[in-house]
Structure formats: structure tokens, C-alpha cells
Amino acid sequence: MAVHLTKRAQRFAHIDHSPLNIEAMRFALFGAGRAGTIHARNIASHPRAEIGYIFDVDQAAAERLADARGGQVPRSPQEIWEADDVDAVLIASSTDTHVDLLRQAMRAGKPTYCEKPVDLDIKKVRTFVDEASASDPPVFIGFRRRFQPEFSSMQRQVREGAVGQIESIRIIARDFALAPLAFLQRSGGLLRDKMIHYFDLAPWLAAERPTELYATGSCLIDPIVGEMGDVDTAVAILRFPSGALCTIENGRRAAYGFDDRVEVFGAEGMLQGGSAPSENLVQFTATGITQGRYPDYYGEESFAYALDAFITALESGGAVAPSLQDGYQAQLIAEAAIESMRSNQPVQLQWR
Amino acid sequence: MAVHLTKRAQRFAHIDHSPLNIEAMRFALFGAGRAGTIHARNIASHPRAEIGYIFDVDQAAAERLADARGGQVPRSPQEIWEADDVDAVLIASSTDTHVDLLRQAMRAGKPTYCEKPVDLDIKKVRTFVDEASASDPPVFIGFRRRFQPEFSSMQRQVREGAVGQIESIRIIARDFALAPLAFLQRSGGLLRDKMIHYFDLAPWLAAERPTELYATGSCLIDPIVGEMGDVDTAVAILRFPSGALCTIENGRRAAYGFDDRVEVFGAEGMLQGGSAPSENLVQFTATGITQGRYPDYYGEESFAYALDAFITALESGGAVAPSLQDGYQAQLIAEAAIESMRSNQPVQLQWR
Amino acid sequence: MAVHLTKRAQRFAHIDHSPLNIEAMRFALFGAGRAGTIHARNIASHPRAEIGYIFDVDQAAAERLADARGGQVPRSPQEIWEADDVDAVLIASSTDTHVDLLRQAMRAGKPTYCEKPVDLDIKKVRTFVDEASASDPPVFIGFRRRFQPEFSSMQRQVREGAVGQIESIRIIARDFALAPLAFLQRSGGLLRDKMIHYFDLAPWLAAERPTELYATGSCLIDPIVGEMGDVDTAVAILRFPSGALCTIENGRRAAYGFDDRVEVFGAEGMLQGGSAPSENLVQFTATGITQGRYPDYYGEESFAYALDAFITALESGGAVAPSLQDGYQAQLIAEAAIESMRSNQPVQLQWR
Amino acid sequence: MAVHLTKRAQRFAHIDHSPLNIEAMRFALFGAGRAGTIHARNIASHPRAEIGYIFDVDQAAAERLADARGGQVPRSPQEIWEADDVDAVLIASSTDTHVDLLRQAMRAGKPTYCEKPVDLDIKKVRTFVDEASASDPPVFIGFRRRFQPEFSSMQRQVREGAVGQIESIRIIARDFALAPLAFLQRSGGLLRDKMIHYFDLAPWLAAERPTELYATGSCLIDPIVGEMGDVDTAVAILRFPSGALCTIENGRRAAYGFDDRVEVFGAEGMLQGGSAPSENLVQFTATGITQGRYPDYYGEESFAYALDAFITALESGGAVAPSLQDGYQAQLIAEAAIESMRSNQPVQLQWR
């Protein structure tokens, strides 16, 4: 079997210089599907974490994953909530189960990493956010773009003044291929499913919350997306209180691989980062100078970096971010964008 | 709670789709120093390998490493040779121990991964090569540049005809910083220690063995290198039977990080690859457009790729490469280069 | 000794393999200001053109330019309209004189190159367009972005199918420095003065006319721009009948030089082009890998390419583009964008 | 006729902001062949120069060129030497005429720009150099690589300390296609004709003269080159007194265009520059990310920059460089390289 590691994967290895006798943080993992499998691997690989339990409604799937990555497979979630050897919870089950599991985790006093979105129904999210109290254990929402190395470096440099006062943010993000219809149907649509990542990323980069946005879209890749009432190509413009403008374009397919690029422009310059060929290998021929296309998956290592950020924040007792509030905020922006696209009008956003 | 020892590192994530019930290849590891520590991590992380034993003359070092990565610490190598649960040997101990360990591994019938060089004394290498018989278990010499993704892709593309008939190879390789004197003193010198990697790489890319070379060098970085009788900057020109020429330049320090770049030029074009900034993040300011320097370490992941190549070759029963013969060949070229530098004359190379 | 007036500038060197006995096209040039000076140089340098007359209300300026580049300085425009040795007219005088001069040139039967915009008052433009008849000599409007080599190659490749069906266009254009206030005041504003270039470029790339747009802007660079009632940073989204979306962002200042970049994305790929450092010279240091910033002026050579396109079209009797109709179209889009920005509503565009 | 200007050509236009009433420097041009035609265009285009006379043994060629670029065509060179309206001489006739013309120009007291090489016979060059006296008018030898913008910037930055103390120079230069045999036969061979450019460039960058070199070569592109006793691919290593090493590789053909790249490495970093695609236009597709190949001609604008340097030096009364001494030096290095290649031995160089 050939090895095809990206350079990126290599970098995570450096995390692994921690003292070897640290007490591992023991996770209960909900969900043994695609995201759950990645999280299971990352927990098992993390030098200061391990899997205690894996639950999935498909018990066989949970068992296969536990065989590979460790952990027990309880008959019901209840066993997990009653267990005294669970340090943290990771929710990677289907979106409609998130709020219930979050509620139970809060009751059980467990710090929780929850995949985005909290729920497709913003009302359910609001209800849960309203219930939350300052004494709750921390909740981390898995907006992992923040942990993509280019973007975390970018945000840090922006904070350090690398571009001066921000005037513009430009974001382009395109999947490499149209996802399966089954996925698209339950995704909540392009804005709730994909653009929401950038509704989290942009305010985080800008250190402001948008007060107005306009969004528009088209169905260009496959008419079946339109038949679902969704778009596969969309642009949103966000306006921030400072006057800075942010343009986000999202699409469901790019022939040349996963395209995820951000530019932050300010009075003193610009930072530009994102997708790149996985190898620095260039071919010169009579017809041109060619390097490899973008990889189909960009930022898969961000799952691992996000997990590490969660673990490190819990260990240090510091603030967990992206927080539940951040997750709610991104979803509010997504709902506003959907409303703007529906009405073809700019929509105002008010923040308490 | 102990750190979960059987977990798999992130680095192998992308290949970790193997059936989960494969019998792991059990390694005896010699050496718990820098290279040994990397190999231990990689063996423990490999989905189809595990550590059985770790031996080091510094028993405490071996024990610390075994605590972290698994395996027992025998009192003597003899326990390893007598053990019936060792599938393969990895020699990462000091260079002067390589030949003896290789000899014992051959006697014990164990396939062996041996760090380069086989020995600093080419005569000892020749004696061991002469002893080798076709029935010996395979020996893999750790010339890991071949497994650096850019270079393995480059070699494959060259074989597929991407540049046509090869006419020229240009190699530049510079360490990011002068190594500690203690290391330099026992390294065998710039040509035996560092350029040897490219004396392996170049013939492998060219699919030919050089028949002539000229080498010259200078001491420019630190006079103490000259006092050792060594150079810190050197250039060699290799001539191949086809008439193709290869230029290799090596240095012991580059202010901008580890510089390791190769160009293969042929009748139909050129392939160019190697070092690159670790992130695709670019800053635009009034004074220029800047991206990150090269990382200090380039190609550390090639340890993992080389290990995987060794394991995969053993599993498939295919040829192991770089072989002992390849290792001997690279050392012969290095000796010729040293002779050329000493005499300031081109040196002919004859191959049986 | 006078400067040799008929000599040909370096800039046309590469096309200067034309037969040397071709009859030069004789231009009457209106305007000896910044644009006029560039055009005078380019006419004098063009291998198949020469300057017959230069008129400017500042007669001394006209005379200085004629000394340098050739041509007579008439006392009034009337002399030009009555002259029988004028082959073509180039209008580079102040914008408020364009329509009158165009009208006279049409009456005199002279093919005319007119700097953009036709007039700041769209009604005056409409009146002139309505007057135009099929028998008029050709009018070329100086939207020279089309002739910037990257963009002319891009358009040709798009037409040849390089990206498949177009789905998105992204344009960013930022001046290197805020223009003088005097210029800004009479410019007509960011959308009429600068974004109009891209209101011409985008439909030309898309081969469609937009049917809807939304524009918004901010004053971020200098409050004085806001006091004029203008913005210095603006974003517009254009929707085309095919569903393709185009985002144009414009700004009045970039610390790193003139930033002018276009991406055309389609079902089969993307073309990306525009600003680049003027030299391929890269510095590697301990702090990063740096190349030169963007030049302050981008695309000044497009003046020469546009002139050549005009001359070549006249010689061949082919269609002149960008035509008067193209110029009117871009101004209509600009007016719609201004209306959108004013009302903060999307605006529909209807085309006959 | 389409215009295909490179960005580079554009930059020369900026020279053209000189005061317009300057007395033009009047040239007598010898040679109306390929180089002469380029020089004629550049003289005619230069704002402070003009062509007085053009002489060629092919009088019709001289007349065609004079028709296009100005100047009279004398019946014999003698008319030129006797004329009182010649400010400077430019020798671009066949190599075997250079020394005689230089001698006459010196006698006539005319500053002279002479194409490289001075003569293919180093003895004739030495004789002429020995004749030269301090009171002679300046002689400029057309080593125009120094005026290629990337290389002139590189040299300036090196002098300003951009890389610290120089330790290594790496030069690669490959023509885009094998020149016609007739040219190759009278060229003096790869080292005298092409590598000589870098035998001038390298010492100029290093600010040192080499004291030793080794050169080797192959005939790989076309056997007919070998039949001429020449090579089409060659590598030379130069050693400087400081210990710095310079590797120069030259070839007669590159599938991807003219390849001309230089790296200067020092204690504090590296400068890298040279060939680049002519447009910043990149295509992203399913098979890769592609930009244009290198242009077939690199550095043609360096003719114009070299001419401007000559004119400017004469105007200011400053030193002319590359001087006759520089030209002789480069030829001595080339002869040493030929001797090294012949004997397959390193050759020492001694400088007075």
C-alpha cells in the first residue's frame, strides 16, 4: 500500500513531543460515521487523549471503530452519562441529535466538542443557547476552518497588525465535487452547510460581527440542486460596523480540486492564503509550466488541530473557542443570508 | 492512566484504511537516539507494525522510549537474536555498530532496515557486501531522500518519460544550520555524511551509474570545519555513460531554512522540485510580497515513507530498495569524490 | 540637433517587422495632458502611424508635445476638421469635451478613438448614441483593460473553452494610491471612473450582459472622499442571464502597488491573471522569501495595445471594439450600480 | 498585425521622460545583420541618440536599415572615420572585423560599443589590449546579461549586502533551440560563444576573478555538434580567491523556452532570478495548474538597456563597463575553460 501523506499531516506529528506520562483525556464519542471515524482516529492519535466509549445507533459500526481505535461500545447513551471515567464528549452523530446530546452532556457536566451545526433549526439552537448558564461545562463548536494552518496563522498575523486596519475580506470556497444527493438533501442547503464555515471565519478574522448582508445564488452545476430548492453557487457581501466589506463566494464543485482561499486586505497590505498543490513539483514542457492541481480534500488535518485546541483549552482552563455562542452567531448569519437570498434584499443583523 | 500505546499517529492517517485484523510486523529496534526515536514513533504509528524490542547501550534511554512507544528492553542484543517474535530489525544505533548488527541480523535470518551509512570505513562495507549471499534476508539502507514525496514523484515521472532522455541533473542541498561539532567530527565529513544522499539519489533518478566525477569544496561557514580537515561547501560533477551530467552542491547552513532542490532536465522538458514554505500564506506590503522561509527540517516525513516502503516490500516479497548494493554504491561514489577533492583531479569509476 | 521625430519606440519593437513603405495613418490628437502625452508617444512609436496635428486649449502644452512627437499645432479645431490629411482622430481631452468632438469627427467622416467615458452625463451619451447612424465612421472607446495582455489572453482562452461554461467571475482592482482630490472631484466617482472599466471587461469576458446587480461601498481610506459623497471601496455583484455571477471589488489605494486581478471560473476550470511583480527576482532570508511588490502602474502598455487594435481594425476594415455601443453599455451598468448603492437595493438591467 | 509586447519592453518606455531638447548622440553603426538591426532600432528609439551612418559590406542591407531607422550609407568606412558628425561608434559587424574597426575607432578618437567577443582569437585580443592606452576613448563590450533587469537588480542588491558574504553562485542558461549550423560553426563553440556571457557575469556578481576552473561537456542534442568538435551541454566550476564556488551550466536547447537563471547564495541568504513566463496568467484544470512556458527569447530588451548604459556613461563621463578589460578577462576565462575541457584537468588562472 503506497503512502500518500501530505506535508501537512507531517506537521501534526510535532504535537507529539509532549511529556509521556500525562493523564490522557478520556472521550465518549457519539457517531461512528464519516466525521466520527476521523475524530476517533485523531483522539486515538492524540498524545494526551484516548477513547473511552463510542456510541452509534448502528452498533456494528461503533464496534468496528472501537476495535480499531479503542473504547467500549455501550448499549445506550445512558451508560455514558452514568460513567465516571468520561472526561469529555465529542458529538459527531447526525445533526438532529446534537441538541439532545448537548443537553445531556451539560447535565452530566461534561465539556463537549460538537460538530457544526448545532441544529438546522435555528429556533432549537436559540432555545438551547437560552438555556445555557455560566456554570455549564464548556461547549466547543467544530468550525474547523479556524484551525486550518494558513487561516490560523492569518488570523494571528492580522491581530498583530500585518495588514493594518481591515478594509476588505475576500473568501472563495469550492468543494472539489458535488456531494451525493442524499447528503445535499439533509445538509440544510449551501448557505447553512458550507457558507456557515465562513460566516464563522469572517467575523473571527475581522474581529467584528456583520451588521448587514446581501446574498444571491444560482444553480449552475446540476439542476437537481435547484429542484431541491437550493443553489450550488452563491455570493454574499457582509458589511461590518467599521465599514469593512467581506465577499464570500461558495460553490459545490471545482474541476481542479478543493478551492479554499482567503484574502484579508487592510490599510497597510494584504494577507493571502489557502489551497495549494500538495507537492512542490513543477513540470516544464513545450506547452507550459505545470504543477499539481489542488488536492480534493483541503484541510482534513484541521480536524486534528481543532481537537488539539479543544483539549489544550480544557487542560489550561482557558476559554473554549469557537464557543456555543460563536456557533449560534454563525447560524444566525446563515439564516439572514438565506432570508436575503429568498427576498433578494439586503438584510440587517442586530446583535445584543 | 497510561498513554494508549497501540494508537496510530496522524501521519499514517491517510493509509490507515487497511483491514484492521492484519498481523502487525514486529520490530526489534537498535538505537534510542535521535533517529531511533523517530523510527520508534513511526513503527508505533504504522498500521501494520509494532515495536517488539528496543535496545540501546544507554538502557535508560531505551526504557523511556519503550514506555512511550511500546516494546520490551532486553538486557543484551542476544535476547533479540534468540527471540522468536521478531519479524524485522531496524538499526539506528551509532554507525560503528551497523556492520556487526547487520551480520547478526543476517545470521538470525531477520530482514533489516539499516540507517545509512553501512560504515564509514568503505573496506568494512566491502567485506560485508562480499560476505552477503543470495539467500540472506533482505537489507534496506535508509537513503530516505528517495521517499521524499517530491523526489519519489519526480523519479516516477522521469521513468514515465516526463522529460524525455535525461541530459542534466542539478541538485542543491543545504542544511539549515551547521550541525554541532561533535556530530560533524564523527560524521565522516560533508561528502560521506550528506552528499552521499545525492550519490544515491542521482543514479536512481538517472537510472545509470556515474563513470567519472570531479569534486571540489571550500570551508566558508566556520573555520573549525576546516581545522577538522573537512569542507562545509562542496560541488561535484558526475558524468554518466549516456553523457548526461549531474551537478551536486551541498552546504552546511542556509539562513532561510533547509534547502533541498532537484532539477532533472531532458530533451523534452524539466522537472523541478523540493523545499517549499510550509504554509501557503503570502503577505503583500509596501516593501514586497513575502511568504514563509523554508522549514528548518525538510523531509522528516521521509523516515515514515521509507519505513512504509520497507514494510510493504517485505509483505509483498518484492525487491527491497535502496538495497545493500545501493548503499555500497553510494559509498563508493562518496569515496571517489573525496579522492577527487583531495587530488583535485577527476576520478574514474568502474562498475563490475 | 533636433530629436529624431520619426523614430519608433522600443515598445513597438516586436511588431516592427512590417514592410517599411506602408502609408502611415495620420492622427489628429485632442488633448496634451497625461493621457494625450501617452497617446502621442504611442502614435509616434507605432510603425504605421504618425501625428498630424495636436490640439489643446493650453497651446503651449500642445506645442511642447508636438516638438517631441511631431505634428502641427493648429490655432483652432476647425483647422483639423477642414484638413485633408487627417486619417483618424484621437480624443484625449477633458471628458466634458468628448461628445462635441465626437460629433464633429463624425461630421468630418473621421474614424475616432475616444478616451472613456463618453461623458459623465449618461443622458448626453444616450443622445449621442441615438444620433449615431450605420454610415458613421467607426468609434472606438478606450476601455483599455481589454488590451492588457493577461486579460486579452484570458478572454481568448475563455472563448476557446479553457474553463468550460462560465459560472463565476471575480475581479479585484485597487489603485496603488489615492488620486489627487482635484482628480477625484471631477472623476464622477469610484463607480463611474474606475469600476466602469470592469463593467466593460466583465460582460466582454462573459459574452453576456448583466440583468441584475447589487452594489455597496464604504469610505475607509480618507474621510474626504466621503465628504464628496463618494466611496473609496466598493463591491458589486452582477448576475448574468446564464446564472453566472460576477463580483467586482474596487478600491482607491493598495500599499503593495496597483492590484488588478481577474478570475474566470467555469465547469472545467479557472483562469487567473493580472498584477505581478515586474521582475522575477526573489530574496530568501531568515525571515522569509520575498519578491517585489506590484508596480504602481499596471497596464500602462495597454494604451499602446489599444491604439494598435484601433489602427489594425481600421486597416482591415473589421469591426472596431470596444465600440460606442460598448461604451454606452458600460456607462449604463455604472449608472445602475450607483442607483443600487444609493438605494441599497438590487437593480434590474434591461437590454433592447 | 497583433502586438505581442512583453511587460519588459514596456519598462524601457520610462527612459523616455528625458528633456526633449537634449543634443542627440550620433552613432556610426557597423553591421546591418541581426545584431545591427536590433541596435539600429534601439539607437533610433533612444531619446538621446540617433543614427548618423550605417555601414555593411552588404550595401543594400545597410540601405534598407537606413531607410527604416535613419542615417546615411557611406561607400566606405573611411567616410565615417573622416566625418566630423560622429559622436560614437557601434560595432555589430562580423566578429573577425571587430579588432580592425576598434583600432580605427580608437585612432579616430570615437567612444565605441563593440559586440562580444572582441575576437575569437585570444592572441589578437591580447595584442589589441596591449596596444590600448589610458588616453584612448572608452570601449564598451556588449556583455548585455549585466543589463538584464533581474541581473542588474541582483548585482546591486548583492553589493548592498542582501545575501551577506557570497559563498556560491549557480547559473543555468539554455537556448530555446539549437541555433543553425552555420551559426554554430563560426561561433567559436559553446564556451566561447555562450558561456562567455557568464564568465563575465559571475566575476561581476562575485566582485572577484576566478583563480581556478574545471569544465566538462557532452554532445547530447545533436551529433553534428560533436562532429564539429563542440559540445552542446557543458558545466564549469569556478573557484574564487574567497573560496566561493560558481557553477555554470549551459545548453543549446530547452523544450520550454530560453532558460536563464542565476542564484547567488551567501551567509545571510540567497537571491534567485531570471527567466519567467511572459504573462501572469494561470490555468487551473483537472490535470494541473499551468502557466505559460518561458519565452523563446529572454533578455532581448537587454540590448536597449546596455545601449542606454553606454550612452549614459559617455554623457556623465563616468567609467564604461563592461570595459575592454572586462571583455578580455571573460575571453581568458573561456580559453581556460576550453583548455580544461580538452585536458579534463582543472586549470589555474593568474591575474596581474
Decide if pLDDT at C123 tops 60. Answer: yes
Note the pLDDT of residue A226.
Answer: 96
Q: What is the residue whose three cell numbers read 548618423?
A: D52
Q: What is each CA distance from D327 to D37, D204, D311, in whole angstroms?
A: 22, 12, 18
B237–D233: do the CB atoms touch at under 8 Å?
no
Q: From chain D, pick out residues whose CB is under 8 angstroms from the CB of C11.
A: 5, 9-10, 12-13
Note the pLDDT of residue C128.
Answer: 96
The average confidence (pLDDT) of chain D is 92
Domain D7-137 matches domain D145-298+323-348 at the CATH topology level: no
Q: What is the mean pLDDT of residues C121-139?
A: 94
Q: What is each CA distance from B338 to B142, B198, C83, D236, in whole angstroms?
A: 22, 14, 83, 19
| C20 shares contact with chain D (CB less than 8 Å) | yes
Looking at chain D, which residue has its C-alpha nearest residue A253? D286
Q: Quick one: what percent of chain C has pLDDT higher than 90?
A: 88
Q: What is each CA distance from B275 to B126, B150, B151, B199, B258, in whole angstroms?
A: 34, 9, 11, 19, 7
Decide if pLDDT at C22 tops 70. Answer: no
Digit-coded pLDDT (tens) for A240-271: 999 999 999 999 999 999 999 999 999 999 99
Angstrom distance (rounded) from CA C260 to CA C250: 9
Asked casually if ipTM beats, i.e. exceeds, 0.90, the reply is yes
Digit-coded pLDDT (tens) for B226-259: 999 999 999 999 999 999 999 999 999 999 999 9
Which D-chain residues 259-278 have CB contacts (< 8 A) with chain C? Answer: 268-276, 278
CB pairs under 8 A between B and C: 53
Q: From chain C, pick out residues whose CB is under 8 angstroms from the CB of D9.
A: 10-11, 13-14, 301
Chain B neighbours, 3+ Cβ pairs < 8 A: A, C, D
Q: Quick one: what percent of chain D has pLDDT higher than 70?
A: 93
Q: What is the DSSP letter of C13?
A: G
Q: How many residues belong to chain B?
A: 352
| C337 shares contact with chain A (CB less than 8 Å) | no
Helix (H, G, I), strand (E, B) or coil at D50: strand
C20–D64: do the CB atoms touch at under 8 Å?
yes
User: Sorting pLDDT into bands at 50, 70 and 90, what band is D22?
Assistant: low
Decide if pLDDT at A16 tops 50. Answer: no
Distant-in-sequence, close-in-space partners of B155: CB < 8 Å, separation ≥ 6: B146, B204, B205
Return the number of other C-beta atoms located less than 10 Å from residue C236's C-beta: 28
User: Sorting pLDDT into bands at 50, 70 and 90, what band is A21?
Assistant: very low
| D348 shares contact with chain B (CB less than 8 Å) | no
Note the pLDDT of residue D300.
Answer: 77
Looking at chain D, which residue has its C-alpha nearest residue C162? D283
Note the pLDDT of residue D301.
Answer: 85
Decide if pLDDT at D139 tops 90. Answer: yes
Nearest CB to A47; choose among B3, B153, B301:
B3
Q: What is the mean pLDDT of residues D246-260?
A: 98
| C63 shares contact with chain D (CB less than 8 Å) | no
Q: Quick one: what percent of chain A has pLDDT higher than 90?
A: 88
| Contact indicator for B319, B134 with CB cutoff of 8 Å | no
Q: What is the mean pLDDT of residues A29-36?
A: 96
D219–B243: do the CB atoms touch at under 8 Å?
yes
User: Sorting pLDDT into bands at 50, 70 and 90, what band is C134?
Assistant: confident
Chain C neighbours, 3+ Cβ pairs < 8 A: A, B, D
A271–B280: do the CB atoms touch at under 8 Å?
no
User: Sorting pLDDT into bands at 50, 70 and 90, what band is C80?
Assistant: very high
Decide if pLDDT at A87 tops 50. Answer: yes
Nearest CB to A233; choose among C168, C172, C221:
C168
Q: Where are the domains of chain D?
A: 7-137, 145-298+323-348
Note the pLDDT of residue C39.
Answer: 96
Digit-coded pLDDT (tens) for D28-64: 999 999 999 999 999 988 989 999 999 999 999 999 9
Which of A270, A293, A294, A340 is most worth mutating to test chain C (most C CB atoms within 10 A of its CB)? A270
Looking at chain D, which residue has its C-alpha nearest residue C265? D284
Decide if pLDDT at C18 tops 50. Answer: no
CA distance B159 to chain D (A): 18
Decide if pLDDT at C298 tops 90. Answer: no
Which of A34, A275, A281, A303 is most worth mutating to test chain B (most B CB atoms within 10 A of its CB)? A281
C45–D42: do the CB atoms touch at under 8 Å?
no
User: Sorting pLDDT into bands at 50, 70 and 90, what band is D352?
Assistant: confident
Q: What is the DSSP letter of A95?
A: G
Nearest CB to A168; choose among C214, C233, C345:
C233
Decide if pLDDT at D2 tops 80. Answer: no
Give the architecture (CATH level 2) of C145-298+323-348.
Answer: 2-Layer Sandwich (3.30)
Decide if pLDDT at C11 tops 90. Answer: no
Strand (E) positions, chain C?
25-30, 49-55, 88-91, 112-114, 139-141, 166-174, 212-218, 233-239, 245-251, 259-266, 269-274, 281-285, 288-291, 347-348
Whether this prediction's pTM lies above 0.90 is answered by yes
Amino acid at C27: F
CA distance D271 to chain A (A): 19
Decide if pLDDT at B90 tops 50. Answer: yes
Nearest CB to B288; choose among C254, C286, C293:
C293
Q: What is the mean pLDDT of residues A329-351?
A: 97
Q: What is the mean pLDDT of residues A263-281?
A: 97
Q: From chain C, pick out residues whose CB is under 8 angstroms from the CB of A170.
A: 170, 172, 249
Digit-coded pLDDT (tens) for D141-187: 999 999 999 999 999 999 999 999 999 999 999 999 999 999 999 99
Helix (H, G, I), strand (E, B) or coil at A32: coil
Note the pLDDT of residue A8.
Answer: 35
Angstrom distance (rounded) from CA D100 to CA A157: 65
D7-137 has CATH 3.40.640.10 classification: no
Taking the alpha carbons at both ends of chain C, their separation in whole angstroms is 58
Q: Order of strands, edge to edge, in the sheet holding B139-141?
A: B49-55, B25-30, B88-91, B112-114, B139-141
DSSP C198-252: HHHHHHHHHTS--SEEEEEEE--S-HHHHHTT--SEEEEEEE-TTS-EEEEEEES
C13–D41: do the CB atoms touch at under 8 Å?
yes
Q: From chain C, pick out residues whose CB is under 8 angstroms from the CB of B286.
A: 255-256, 293
| D238 shares contact with chain B (CB less than 8 Å) | no
Distant-in-sequence, close-in-space partners of C88: CB < 8 Å, separation ≥ 6: C25, C26, C27, C28, C110, C111, C112, C113, C310, C311, C314
Note the pLDDT of residue A352.
Answer: 78
Digit-coded pLDDT (tens) for D204-213: 999 999 999 9
Chain A neighbours, 3+ Cβ pairs < 8 A: B, C, D
Which DSSP helix (H) or strand (E) runs through B343? helix B324-343
Digit-coded pLDDT (tens) for C33-62: 999 999 999 999 898 999 999 999 999 999
Return the number of other C-beta atoms located less than 10 Å from residue A134's C-beta: 4
| C293 shares contact with chain A (CB less than 8 Å) | no
Q: What is the DSSP letter of C176?
A: S
Angstrom distance (rounded) from CA A112 to CA A77: 15
Decide if pLDDT at D93 tops 50. Answer: yes
Digit-coded pLDDT (tens) for C249-279: 999 999 999 999 999 999 999 999 999 999 9
